[in-house]
Amino acid sequence: MTGNSSNGHKRVVVTGIGAVSPIGNNVNDMWASLIAGESGVGYITSFDTTDFETKIGAEVKNFDMTAYLNRKQAQRMDRFTQFAVAASLQAVQSAKLTIDPSNAQDIGVIIGNSVCGLLSVSEQQKILMEKGPDRVSPILAPTMTGDAAPVQVSLVLGAKGVNFSISAACSSGSDAIGQAYNFIRLGGAKVMVAGGTEAPIIPIVIAAFNNIRALSAKGDNPKQACRPFDAKRTGFVMAEGSGILVLEEADYALKRGAPILAELVGYGATSDAFHLIQPMPDGASAISASKIALAQAGISPEEVDYINAHGTATLLNDRTETNVIKSVYGERAKKIPVSASKSMLGHLLGAAGSVEAVISLLTMERGIIPPTINLTNPDPECDLDYVPNTARKAEVKTVVSNSFGFGGHNSVLIFRKYAS
């Protein structure tokens, strides 16, 4: 590809990344844990799990929001918003982006999430029941809503372009990145701060997901609980955190001398329209999302060097995703390394796709594929190269990141090394 436009559309590059995760509160710490195969899963510490079947989760550890904002600012945010602000500030700093009145209108924010500010709602519900409606915090209204994260990021950064949230279950973060990509390529923005954020490790959410038998209740060794593509998988592990990308129109990034990490070349999104929870058995809509992304990118299956799988460690998802990859990539499927970051991170719901996008970019930049840990007894129906247990050095020029969510949301992102 030559030039910085394609079919009349602007080319879109990634110039900055940020992350807060169960295995590191910044990009470099997260990456070090990933390539070492370290799990962030442990016993839940944020509430008493005595009466809960599921007692494990992948919590963010030692997170201090006052490293980013003063205490008063931090207290006006739900935990899911704090994560988004922290990751966004990291991403903007890594992009070497200064936002001021000269460019503020050209910079937008889209951040996805799934459960919004339920932590704040749960806390204030208790106050309501114990002390009455007059004691409910007036701050609850602007902190519990789905748009609280992009609003606060916009306020902190001073970004005055398009600003909204996306909720698409486990595809939310990927869809936020995909929609930001569309804004730039169609000329609606020069820069977008985009990704996902989530803080779902609270009693009501754990109880709800446990009662649909989605969560792993394996408690004897939490770090081995999340086992994507393994025959002894027991369900996914709830996690929290945020992943944020800075996307820019290529010419704009080049003019300001920004560091270009990669180019976002394809985005495909479809719906199963099949079931509230289960994926479509034949994966037809997920296959379509993959093919849409490949067609938009203008690349063939032979050019894909790595796939970051949705890989939830649930039987239906693992097998369906395996079949989707086989259907899309044909004979090449078994030659493409595929790994599931959730084996270490747990499942960050609406932030999963964006954190995995960050990981996909790091894989390309640093030439190391993170492993799928806890893969010791492969499911016979999951027979691809899942990079079991040990990271692998590899030249990676093109990466696919899959997100397949509850409700039938299918989102696929494709990143490629930038070539002018």
Question: pTM of the predicted model, to two decimals?
Answer: 0.96
Task: Give the pLDDT of residue 420.
Answer: 83
Q: Using CA atoms, how far apart are residues 242 and 411, in angstroms rounded to an integer?
A: 18
Do 128 and 240 share a domain, yes or no?
yes
Residue where a domain stops, chosen among 255, 282, 307: 255
Q: Count CA within 13 A, CB hemisphere, residue 193.
A: 40
Task: Reply yes or no on whether the pLDDT at 147 is more than 90.
Answer: yes
Catalytic one of 116, 226, 347, 382: 347
Task: Give the pLDDT of residue 327.
Answer: 97
Beta strands 107-112; 191-198: pairing state:
parallel
Closest C-alpha among 162, 205, 168 to residue 44: 205
Enclosing H/E stretch for 18: strand 12-20
- Looking at the structure of the chain, the number of domains it has is 2
User: Which band of pLDDT confidence, cut at 50, 70 and 90, is reported for residue 280?
Assistant: confident
Across the chain, what does the average pLDDT equal? 95
Do 281 and 220 share a domain, yes or no?
no
Do 233 and 322 share a domain, yes or no?
no
Task: Reply yes or no on whether the pLDDT at 361 is more than 80.
Answer: yes
pLDDT tens, residue by residue, 59-115: 999 999 999 999 999 999 999 999 999 999 999 999 999 999 999 999 999 999 999
Task: Give the pLDDT of residue 8.
Answer: 74
Is 299 contained in some domain? yes
Is 261 contained in some domain? no
Closest C-alpha among 384, 398, 375 to residue 320: 384
Task: Give the pLDDT of residue 281.
Answer: 85
Is 260 contained in some domain? no
Catalytic annotation on 347?
yes
Is 84 contained in some domain? yes
Task: Give the pLDDT of residue 6.
Answer: 58
User: Which band of pLDDT confidence, cut at 50, 70 and 90, is reported for residue 1?
Assistant: very low
Is 19 contained in some domain? yes
User: Which band of pLDDT confidence, cut at 50, 70 and 90, is reported for residue 279?
Assistant: confident
Task: Reply yes or no on whether the pLDDT at 182 is more than 90.
Answer: yes
Q: Using CA atoms, how far apart are residues 77 and 74, in angstroms rounded to an integer?
A: 6
Do 216 and 304 share a domain, yes or no?
no
Do 319 and 200 share a domain, yes or no?
no
Do 134 and 85 share a domain, yes or no?
yes
Q: Using CA atoms, how far apart are residues 387 and 378, in angstroms rounded to an integer?
A: 12
Is 2 contained in some domain? no
CATH number at residue 398: 3.40.47.10
Task: Give the pLDDT of residue 159.
Answer: 98
Please give the angle made by the CA atoms of 108, 406 and 412, to the nearest 5 degrees.
50
Do 276 and 171 share a domain, yes or no?
no
Q: Please state, for a pLDDT cut of 70, what percent of the chain lies above it.
A: 98
Task: Give the pLDDT of residue 277.
Answer: 80
Catalytic annotation on 409?
no
Which residues does residue 306 pair with via DSSP β-bridges, in sequence order? Answer: 399
Q: Please state, for a pLDDT cut of 90, what percent of the chain lies above it.
A: 93
Task: Give the pLDDT of residue 5.
Answer: 56
Residue where a domain stops, chosen among 225, 255, 285: 255
Catalytic one of 116, 170, 226, 382: 170
Q: Using CA atoms, how far apart are residues 265 and 300, in angstroms rounded to an integer?
A: 13
Do 71 and 102 share a domain, yes or no?
yes
Contact 353, 196 (CB under 8 A): yes
Task: Reply yes or no on whether the pLDDT at 7 is more than 80.
Answer: no
Is 1 contained in some domain? no
Residue where a domain stops, chosen among 255, 275, 297: 255
Q: Using CA atoms, how far apart are residues 253 and 93, in angstroms rounded to an integer?
A: 14
Contact 334, 385 (CB under 8 A): yes
Do 150 and 36 share a domain, yes or no?
yes
State the average pLDDT over residues 382-398.
Answer: 98
Q: Which range marks the domain in which residue 402 is found? A: 266-416
Catalytic one of 116, 226, 310, 382: 310
Do 129 and 23 share a domain, yes or no?
yes
Do 41 and 119 share a domain, yes or no?
yes
Do 246 and 107 share a domain, yes or no?
yes
Task: Reply yes or no on whether the pLDDT at 2 is more than 80.
Answer: no
Is 197 contained in some domain? yes
In this structure, what token pair is assigned to residue 353? Answer: 């796709």
DSSP output for 353-368: HHHHHHHHHHHHHHTE
pLDDT tens, residue by residue, 227-254: 999 999 999 999 999 999 999 999 999 9
